Chain A
């Protein structure tokens, strides 16, 4: 809240842009046509900065529109319309209960911890945004590999990233400086080159979705309208790029016209060259601005924008920040929590499994029916006697569902020189065979490779064969062995999988000889001490593992390592990749066979 923030120390970063005016601008743009724009993606940790930003948004938007807040912990059946069971039973007529999505109609749905939304919740919300039922404010606290589901990000036009701003928590001035206009921005003309730049920019920023250029165009038009312009200008587009892609604009350099070619943006150049041979370079794009009345018509729009953003390494920053939006998405999107309303039905039982179990009405009625006559005579004086059926607490039956638990196979492969020459090919063969089976069984696979100075997650957990195949092809061997680093990463992935309710099994393929320590320094002694430490941590976490000894002649220390990890030891005689995949398969089956009621 702004009231509290006055006490906080001022952290001045003179080079940082003023985030508050960006927030206020975004709010004004959004307020012009919230349902067209879909919503705002507010990326920030919870805290006074975010509270202040939300307050600005609220003060500028909320006048006409109701705000409704939800968290991903909402039960799926409360998201959509349904029946109010208690009221229905009490009043003997059907009492409808409108779900969260219906209640948000015509307003703003604030979604806290949006990165935790399940795929289902995201799909339901996305469909409602498409129907223009409401707009959303996505409060995204995602760190590193957590991201809001891409189907939502794709539909939301505005992005604000607060971490980049400075913290002079004084939003008041900027917020009141701008007066929100009332008209709708229909009469703003958008010159052809600006439209082209929208498309080219979205493509250059790796946003293949056709919604991205449309968002850019809409935001540009609204910005021009807010500034009282009749034609959308380069300036408006520049600002729109910042608001739509969540980039922090830096001051444009003086356009002296002589701009070197930008080899950093091959996509833009390529596509422009392909589609419009007469314009060989993106830089030439806006030279025909005849129809534009903008004063800076001779300026080159694309260069302008690229100037403003490229020095910040836009392509990489954007790809990293919004990677989840692109085609080759990675990272996890919310917990794949077990739903209490999906899966196969099991027999109903008298006690709810947890707070969110659904009442099984038919089973409840069935349980109550045999007692009706008895109850009626026993409670003759009861007011309830005129009810068609007397239901008591002990009659309630709750539905149970069972969903098969997923298995994640984490392959941690030693691709170091000592191991690689001997067995890397076979390890690849075994992984390929397993992958082929995983895809039919809906198991996920992750791949960690350790070689050289450090371990690396080559393939984050995925079910996509396409990505796995690419990762395997790109896998190279050689160099020293950072075994401890590999173990650390495997533990991280397995831990996360367990949090998501998956069964994880780590298949460690190594000869067990480490020579790189956790901090990346060489030295067999420290490396082995680190490895032992990581192995112990692995066992303490209770994670299951199989160590496949890839040494030409299996020796004692790989078996020792397996014992230290609390896992199984599996020596692999040369040339038996098929056996390996069979052995691992059977262990995975054992892992996933415990389909349990949820």
Chain B
């Protein structure tokens, strides 16, 4: 496994980096959808983000990455040793790839064939959802994912629990993760239901600015030629960023969100004709995470409007033949709101 490219060394792509940071600060924001061309550093950014964060403490021997400070009642492994004192293990934050063709068995988990065949025991073999608990689940080309897997993912991502009812097994285990999806809309659209479940969405394009492109190539080249030295030269920045995320996480609950902020959020959602309240909730959470990251005490209208495009653009009711993109519609609405605020 090659080393991970440092997060701070990623050139440009500010919106993508910010969205990932916000999702890392507050996983309740609910995942990030990155749409755009190939070779824009989508998967690099996800892996780099996980490498920023410190390892998580888990219960030793638990295959579900349970937190020893708060063992869940749902975990089959921890339940079994509930009487004994839990031993603590440290693991890097999981970043789990969900390959396009993964079978449902592989994703949700299935009967442990080894135990069934050799010992005649009926035990559960955890799948990718269990492995991603407390980490990131990355789905490249999410728009090509098969519908039945999409349904499964949506359900688990929303509830934080994976219910297994198959192969004569019946159990539930915790599976809370930040869902990061990427894809190229030219190759197929995402179903609106799936779109709505993502907290933040953004479009990435590869830079068209020659200077920026050169910088990308240069850094990539430096990294490939001497990873150790490259990582070393970015280690301080990465460490500082990691600390900042942890600090923001700790302070998240102390950030005040005034009623006027919620009013603006609601106003935006109504103006854009967005159904449901998921858009407003996400806006509020994302703005709060941004405030924590920026070390503010309260959410200001500017912060809210800064995150609004990522929170809303994928929730607009789609008129398939409308030429103006959703980003433009959101920007227009924001412009009108900011005039009103000022």
Contact = CB atoms under 8 A, between A and B. Distances in A.
A196 B191 contact: no
Interface string B67-104: 00000000000000000000000000000010111011
B113 A361 contact: yes
Interface string B190-201: 011000000000
A36 B101 contact: no
Contacts of A118: 101
Nearest to B207: A210
Interface stretch (A52-60, A458-466, A498-506, A528-536): A458-466
Contact of B187 (A131, A190, A464): A464
B221 A217 contact: yes
A203 interface: yes
A521 B189 CA distance: 41
Nearest to B211: A275
B189 A463 contact: yes
Nearest to B206: A208
B218 A439 contact: no
Contacts of A345: 104
Given A208-B37, A210-B206, A469-B320, A464 B186 contact: yes
Most chain A Cβ neighbours within 10 Å, of B2, B37, B117, B140: B117
Contact of A124 (B99, B168, B214): B99
Interface in A453-485: 463-467, 469, 472-473
Given A123-B141, A154-B38, A214-B220, A464 B213 contact: no
A473 B322 CA distance: 11
Contacts of A464: 185-189
Interface string A504-539: 000000000000000000000000000000000000
Interface in A429-450: 432, 435-436, 439-440, 442
A342 B141 contact: no
A252 B185 CA distance: 40
A214 to B, nearest CB: 5
Contacts of B192: 440
Nearest to A221: B221
A396 to B, nearest CB: 14
A127 B216 CA distance: 21
Given A130-B43, A199-B210, A365-B116, A329 B103 contact: no
A interface, size bucket: 35 or more
B37 A439 contact: no
A469 B208 contact: no
Nearest to A273: B210
Contact of A120 (B101, B104, B147, B212): B101
A343 B38 contact: no
Interface in B120-148: 120, 140-141, 144, 146-148
Interface stretch (A88-96, A309-317, A588-596): A88-96
A150 interface: yes
A219 B209 CA distance: 23
Contacts of B319: 436
Contact of A151 (B38, B186, B206): B38
Contacts of A472: 321
A214 B39 CA distance: 10
A414 interface: no
Interface string B104-119: 1000000101101110
B252 to A, nearest CB: 33
B214 A195 contact: yes
Contacts of A214: 217, 220-221
Contacts of A388: 120
Given A92-B117, A440-B192, A329 B100 contact: no
Contacts of A341: 101, 103
B217 A210 contact: yes
A436 B318 CA distance: 9
A132 interface: yes
A469 B117 contact: no
Nearest to A327: B37
B104 A199 contact: no
Contact of A328 (B111, B113, B186, B206): B186
Most chain A Cβ neighbours within 10 Å, of B184, B205, B206: B206
A575 to B, nearest CB: 19
Interface string B230-264: 00000000000000000000000000000000000
B224 interface: yes
A329 B208 contact: no
B189 A208 contact: no
A523 to B, nearest CB: 38
A271 B2 contact: no
B297 interface: no
Given A92-B118, A361-B113, A344 B148 contact: yes
A362 B99 contact: no
Contacts of B148: 343-344
B41 interface: yes
B99 A342 contact: no
A439 B211 contact: no
A276 B212 CA distance: 11
A211 B39 contact: yes
Given A88-B117, A271-B210, A209 B221 contact: no
Interface in B145-165: 146-148
Contact of B101 (A94, A124, A271, A466): A124
B40 interface: yes
A210 B321 contact: no
Contacts of A435: 320-321
Nearest to A133: B1
A196 B218 CA distance: 10
A186 B192 CA distance: 49
B15 interface: no
Contact of B37 (A209, A389, A403): A209
Contacts of A217: 217, 221
A465 B144 contact: no
Given A195-B218, A274-B209, A389 B120 contact: yes
Interface in A291-343: 327-329, 339, 341-343
Contacts of B120: 388-389
B216 to A, nearest CB: 5
A199 B168 contact: no
A467 B38 CA distance: 18
Interface in A52-108: 76, 83, 88-89, 92-94
Interface of B: 1-2, 37-41, 43, 97, 99-101, 103-104, 111, 113-114, 116-118, 120, 140-141, 144, 146-148, 167-168, 184-189, 191-192, 205-214, 216-218, 220-221, 224-225, 319-321, 323
A-B residue pairs, 5 tightest by C-beta: A209-B39, A120-B101, A94-B114, A199-B213, A275-B210
24 contacts: A36-B224, A83-B114, A92-B117, A130-B43, A186-B225, A195-B214, A196-B214, A198-B217, A199-B213, A203-B208, A208-B206, A209-B38, A209-B39, A210-B40, A210-B216, A211-B38, A274-B210, A276-B210, A329-B187, A339-B101, A435-B320, A436-B319, A464-B186, A469-B323
Given A209-B37, A327-B186, A389-B120, 4 more contacts: A150-B38, A210-B206, A436-B320, A473-B323
